[in-house]
Amino acid sequence: MNPFDALMPKPVRMNPKPGGLKIAAGFSLRIEGGAGVKVAKAALRFQKRLADKTGLFLEMGGPLECSLVMQYKREGELVLGEKEGYTLNVTSQQAVLSAETDLGILRGLETLLQLVCVDQEGYYIPAVEISDEPRFPWRGLMIDSARRFQPMDVLKRNLDGMAAVKLNVFHWHLTDDQGFRVESKVFPRLHEMGSNGEYYTQEQIREIVAYAAERGIRVIPEFDVPGHAASWVIGYPELASAPGPFLREINLGILDTVLDPIKESTYLFLEEFFAEMATLFPDEYLHIGGDENNGKQWLANPRITQFMEEHDFKTILDLQCHFNKKLLDILTKLGKKMIGWDEILTPELPPTAVIQSWRGRESLVQGAKQGHRVILSAGYYIDLCQPAEYHYKNDPLPADMELTEEESKYILGGEATMWSELVSPETIDSRIWPRTAAIAERLWSRREDCKVEGLHERLDILSLGLEDLGLTHEKNYPQMLRRLVGGAHIAPLQNLLDLCEPVQGYERVTQRKHTAVSPLTRAVDAARPDARGAREFRDLVALYHGESEVRTRLQEKLRMWACNHEKLAPIIERSPILREVNTLSLDLTKVATIALEVLESPAKKLNEQEKAALEEAKKPRGQLQLMIVSAIEELVTKNH
């Protein structure tokens, strides 16, 4: 694939030219125009990444005739809608990167790094003219640090990954039932009693905000209220709608704990708390959650139900709207704009509140029609292990959206969401990358340029660059396999797991109960969404129309799989943690053997036992699914 086709996100306008700019030891950089720190630091990071990629010793500053010149007019503000566009002109003599703001320079440098090529004569950047700008101003990734704490290095490497694909909003989910992850000096029992000792100090918060800002990324904190509040009330039980005592919560799902919405002291507490948080998070937006309040504790409290009657609140939503409007007033006084999940959307909610749609596209449309700015997350839940194509096809503003041109302007963009019930610091990168790059392209590039063809090949190429940034989505896979096999060779287990994916959606938690402290070291945790081995086999079957060359390639894979269980069985016998995939391994041997017989005997028809074996192989085991069965069924059909 040529470097222009491989770019992610795809630039808006691109005009390739003959030739290219050679990258040699004399390659040097210069900044013109602005004198901001952001570009200077970005240039140093670019220089190091380019040097690491090429092994060359590069210069900064250098002669008047520099290899790369960066020109910009002003420092961009980290606010919604700031200009991020850039132009890039590469000739055989020089590359010139120009932008209105330093943010545009940052985005252009990432494009430039992706363009670096190599041939027999060395490294070079192909000649090209690019003019690029984002389609949507809000392009985010949410990471949940509340249910399972994510250390600083996890956040930083993922911020680097975000910058590489031009995402510009880090939505940081910091409080939930299972953990309160921010140090509060005003209300210290929040983090002391609600975090199990795992929280971010205020110094660390400022460090992450600064790290993100250097990469042109805004940080939006989320403090989930009134529901998902079990960690709040451990230290401050007077906030609760039900009597305590309250202990640390490890159960997952929708829990009952909810803040008391009728005490004036609740709002005084929240006003002081948010005033403190406003000093840590400079962005104008702040997320209040507002989701999944089942209202059980409100309805069980006579004092609260009497309040509802007195104010003619017919439903829980009416009472929560009262809470939301009080909170909106608090945040407005602090100079903040409120964001909430789509449960907060009611006709009475003032349009200044931003709606984040997660339960379906309906709330996105409804919110825009009511004059709310809206963000799409429905279809971008990357924790559900759905394919990259599924997310990629999900457009915040498709051509057939039932909105007027004016209403369409309220759609800000979208956010991928990485909830942490089923990820650890070891596995989180594999659930975020590289699929999130597909979402990033959907949010940056023009709708008509987002074609599924070649998507996975482009993601595989980008994945190498993400690895260079320290992301562990590839590196940790063999490491986890080595642990699972207990010193044996990992090849037989990898042959199986390369063809398996975690069950999608919420199936994993319905098949087996998990808590916030359940181990995440099983085969299902090592396996990755969009299993490459399964995808490559499916693609090969799609290509096959009786050609001997393709048949030979299929037979090679199937023969390996047909004898794989014989090699894996003794490893499973010595490794109790793997016994839950024993029958899955057996089924791989069975279906591979069936497929081989079909390829070698075109006239063969499947008997009832073989048909049953294929159906059995589709069933999940150990929360894993074998992802080649449908392709084998297709192969059987084709061969006839």
The answer to whether residues 248 and 206 touch, using CB atoms and an 8 Å cutoff, is: no
Cis peptide upstream of residue 9 (ω within 30 degrees of 0)? yes
DSSP state letters, 159-219: HHHHHHTT--EEEEEEEETTEE-B--SSSTHHHHHHSTT--B-HHHHHHHHHHHHHTT-EE
Q: What is the 3-state secondary structure (H, E, C) of 214-267?
A: HCCCEEEEEEEECCCCHHHHHHCHHHECCCCCCCCCCECCCCCCCECCCCHHHH
| Alpha-carbon span 162 to 185, nearest angstrom | 31
Is 292 an annotated catalytic residue? yes
Tell me the CB-side half-sphere exposure of residue 354, using CA atoms within 13 A: 26
* Distance set, CA 400 to CA 364, 373, 403, 405 (Å): 14, 19, 9, 12
Amino acid at 285: Y
Report the helix count and the strand count for the chain, using DSSP H and E: 27, 19
The residue type at 245: P
Residue of 383, 494, 391 lying closest to 442 (CA atoms)? 391
The dihedral of CA 248, 251, 256, 261: what is its sign?
positive
First to last CA, the chain: 34
Residues near 173 by beta carbon (within 8 Å), at least 6 away in sequence: 142, 143, 144, 145, 146, 222, 224, 287, 419
Hey, what are 316's tokens? Answer: 């829980």
Tell me the sheet residues that pair with 170.
141, 219
The rounded distance, in Å, linking the Cα atoms of 229 and 264 is 18
Task: Give the DSSP letter string of 266-280.
Answer: HHHHHHHHHHHHHHH
| 271, 292, 407, 634: the active-site residue | 292
Count of beta carbons in the 10 Å neighbourhood of residue 14: 17
DSSP designation for 519: -
**Taking a C-beta distance cutoff of 8 angstroms, is the pair 466, 161 a contact?**
yes
Which amino acids are annotated catalytic?
292
